[in-house]
């Protein structure tokens, strides 16, 4: 089990109970924009082969025991967030454990509890893959089960359109933050904050540094000018959620009172803070 999965689960996902045999907990899918923002590579492709030999590599930073990975070869049909000249990519995955032998008559073998579903590619599978570079090996990995969107899924076309929209905005983030469309500005700001405010997996005592002043101001202005009365159903984003990624404290001049009507009073307070601090507050990012 990758520690990367656990970190991203804490940052992006929500743990929910699932009443299914052999699975105690599941992690609800993180918002698509967050997944795209934190991915190293996003492609649409087809699994063409599974290499016979396994590869030994660290499972997480600092892993001394290492683990065995199988390698799948994916033929790229659409390099959404990847070098356009790239035609194939190597995907590493941990093979599923062998199926236990049937229990003798009268004995009951309790199935193992698997808290995080693992992705196991199959030859011929077509999907959109949201991938991260492996910490040690010369291949990429799927951090969470929801980072593979199978082409046969009912909502594949809709999800893929959103993924492409997110990737396009990130491709020129400065222009996206200046877009005439307020929703695009908020979406770009959200993805940048997800990227800047999420520490790298395995980082020990990660340090922060101030973001470029001009981009910091544009992000805060995107929040200020957003529609605080709604939550976007497609992206699962709201200005309140995006603002929360700043982890503001009293040191930042953030001292909200006890609201009598939170839904009405909080947006007004947040917008007032943004208006007063957009020119002077510097967003802090985790240092690369």
Query: What pLDDT is attached to residue 114?
Result: 53
- pLDDT digits 0-9 by tens, 49-86: 999 999 999 888 888 888 899 999 999 999 999 998 99
Which pLDDT belongs to residue 28? 82
Which pLDDT tens digit goes with each residue over 26-56? 678 899 999 999 999 999 999 999 999 999 9
Residues 136 and 57 in one domain: yes
144 and 186 assigned to the same domain: no
Residues 184 and 91 in one domain: no
Pairwise CA distance, residues 241 & 232, whole Å: 11
DSSP E strand boundaries for 156-207: none
The pLDDT of residue 285 is above 80: yes
Is the model's pLDDT at 12 over the cut of 60?
no
Same domain, 197 and 116: no
pLDDT of residue 250: 96
What is the reported pLDDT for 43? 98
CB 74 within 8 A of CB 43: yes
Question: Is 158 part of any domain?
Answer: no
176 burial class (0-12, 13-18, 19+ CB within 10 angstroms)?
Answer: buried
What is the CA angle 130-136-142, rounded to 5?
20
Helix axis angle for 182-196 and 213-224, nearest 10°, is 130
pLDDT at 271: 97
Is there a single domain that holds both residue 139 and residue 223?
no
Query: Do 189 and 65 have their domain in common?
Result: no
Q: What is the pLDDT of residue 9?
A: 46
Does residue 161 belong to any structural domain of this protein? no
What is the rounded distance in angstroms from the CA atom of residue 99 to the CA atom of residue 112? 11
| 279 and 142 together in one domain | no
Query: Could you tell me if 144 and 209 lie in one domain?
Result: no
Burial of residue 278 (CB within 10 Å: 0-12, 13-18, 19+) is middle
pLDDT in tens, 220-246: 999 999 999 999 988 989 999 999 999
CATH code where residue 145 lies: 2.40.50
What percent helix, strand, coil does the chain show, rounded to 5?
A: 30, 25, 45
Instruction: Specify the pLDDT at position 255.
Output: 96
Does residue 45 fall inside a structural domain? yes
The answer on 188 and 84 residing in a single domain is no
Which residues constitute the domain of residue 42? Answer: 3-96+112-151
Q: What is the pLDDT of residue 162?
A: 97
Inside any domain, residue 157: no
Higher pLDDT, 197 or 101: 197
Task: Looking at the structure, tell me whether residues 141 and 11 fall in a common domain.
Answer: yes
Share of the chain above pLDDT 70, in %: 84
User: Is residue 259 included in any domain, yes or no?
Assistant: yes
DSSP string, 197-245: TSPPTT-SS--EEEPPHHHHHHHHHHHHTS-TT--BTTTTB-HHHHHHT
Length of the chain: 288
Dihedral angle of Cα 278, 282, 285, 288, to the nearest 10 degrees:
130
List own/partner pairs for 267-276 with CB under 8 A and 24 or more apart.
Answer: 267/228, 267/229, 267/239, 267/240, 270/223, 270/228, 270/239, 270/240, 270/243, 271/224, 271/228, 273/248, 274/220, 274/221, 274/223, 274/224, 274/243, 275/224
CA 264, 267, 268, 269 torsion: positive or negative?
positive
139 with 193, same domain: the answer is no
CB atoms closer than 10 angstroms to residue 171: 11
pLDDT digits (tens, 9 = 90+) for 126-143: 999 999 999 888 999 999
Confidence of residue 10 (pLDDT cuts 50, 70, 90): very low
More confident residue, 14 or 173: 173
- Is residue 230 in a domain? yes
Residue 19: predicted pLDDT: 40
115/123: higher pLDDT: 123
* Domain co-membership, 40 together with 119: yes
The count of structural domains within the chain is 2
How many H-runs (helices) and E-runs (strands) does the chain carry? 8, 11
Report if residue 107 sits inside a domain: no
In-domain check, residue 163: no
pLDDT value at position 64?
85
**Interval 182-226: pLDDT, tens:** 999 999 999 999 999 998 776 678 899 999 999 999 999 999 999
- Please give the Cα distance from 113 to 25 (Å, whole number): 9
């Amino acid at each position: 089990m990758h520690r990367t999965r656990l970190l991203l689960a804490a940052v992006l996902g929500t743990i929910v109970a699932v009443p299914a045999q052999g699975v105690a907990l599941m992690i609800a899918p993180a918002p698509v924009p967050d997944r795209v923002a934190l991915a190293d590579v996003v492609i649409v492709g087809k699994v063409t082969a599974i290499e016979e030999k396994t590869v030994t590599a660290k499972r997480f930073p600092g892993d001394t025991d290492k683990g065995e990975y199988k390698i799948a070869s994916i033929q790229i049909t659409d390099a959404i967030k990847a070098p356009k000249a790239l035609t194939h990519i190597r995907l590493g995955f941990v093979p599923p454990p062998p199926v236990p032998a049937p229990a003798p008559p009268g004995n009951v073998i309790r199935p193992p509890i698997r808290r995080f579903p693992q992705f196991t590619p199959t030859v011929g599978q077509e999907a959109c893959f949201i991938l991260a570079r492996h910490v040690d090996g010369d291949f990429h990995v799927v951090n969470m089960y929801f980072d593979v969107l199978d082409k046969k899924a009912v909502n594949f076309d809709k999800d893929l359109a959103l993924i492409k929209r997110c990737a396009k905005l990130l491709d020129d983030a400065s222009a996206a933050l200046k877009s005439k469309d307020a929703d695009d500005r908020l979406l770009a700001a959200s993805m940048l904050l997800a990227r800047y405010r999420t520490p790298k997996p395995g980082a020990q005592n990660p340090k922060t540094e101030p973001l470029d002043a001009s981009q910091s101001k544009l992000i805060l202005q995107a929040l200020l000018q957003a529609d605080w009365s709604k939550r976007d159903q497609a992206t699962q984003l709201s200005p309140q959620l995006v603002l929360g990624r700043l982890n503001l404290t009293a040191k930042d001049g953030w001292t909200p009172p006890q609201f009598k009507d939170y839904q009405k009073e909080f947006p007004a307070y947040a917008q007032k803070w943004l208006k007063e601090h957009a020119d002077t507050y510097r967003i802090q990012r985790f240092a690369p």
